[in-house]
Amino acid sequence: MARRSIKIMAELAEAEAPRGHQAYWRLIREACLARGEVTVREVAEACAATRSTRATIIGYMARLGRAGILARLRVGAHGTTVWGLAEDPGPLTPMIRRDGTRYTRGLGRDHLWRTIGILKRFDARELAIRARTEDVRVTEAAARDYCEALAAVGVLSKAREGGRVVYTARQSARTGPVAPSIIELRAVYDPNANKVLGRPIAREVGDG
């Protein structure tokens, strides 16, 4: 049974992490900062391996336009819209509704990650209190779950002090300002062949 579990997990580990809006935003921002402009075609070609559709990318860039983050610079060859940055909100992926308004889902994780970098040493309750704002709700349970996930992969270390668990940030494991995502994998397992069928689907877990 143990060897079977190891085999299954090895196959699941081959699943590609979801790219989605985070990948689009990184490519859009990098192109605009480097050259001052970007097109849907460039983003679509860069994300071809993730099976992203042009319609999805067009939709996301239109949202950024309605939010005032992107601006239409001109119409290029074949009617292609050339976009530029009107506002640079930074490397964190803007969370934008279809109508261009911003929403807070996903920001709890970003707030937790930023606060971890500030506090360095904390318990889940302290982290949750310091990470929440008037607009972003962060529960102690969500903070604890996130810390446990980061501790499991060595980003945080943890120790029990009295009746509480204290986490310490390992600065060597902090690779940048974008919060690490927690990924769930969904797969079809055939016990007859003892193998995972097809490619597992990766999904990012929300703030909770």
pTM of the model as a whole: 0.61
Taken in order 151, 156, 161, 165, is the CA torsion positive or negative? negative
User: Helix, strand, coil % (nearest 5) of the chain?
Assistant: 45, 25, 35
Please say whether the beta carbons of 156 and 133 come within 8 A. no
Structure confidence at residue 135 (pLDDT): 78
Query: Does residue 142 register a pLDDT over 80?
Result: yes
Mean pLDDT within 146-168: 94
Distance CA 76, CA 107 (A): 35
Distance CA 115, CA 117 (A): 5
Token pair belonging to 141: 């349970």
Give 59-116 pLDDT, tens digit per residue: 999 999 999 999 999 997 778 899 999 999 888 788 888 898 877 666 788 899 999 9
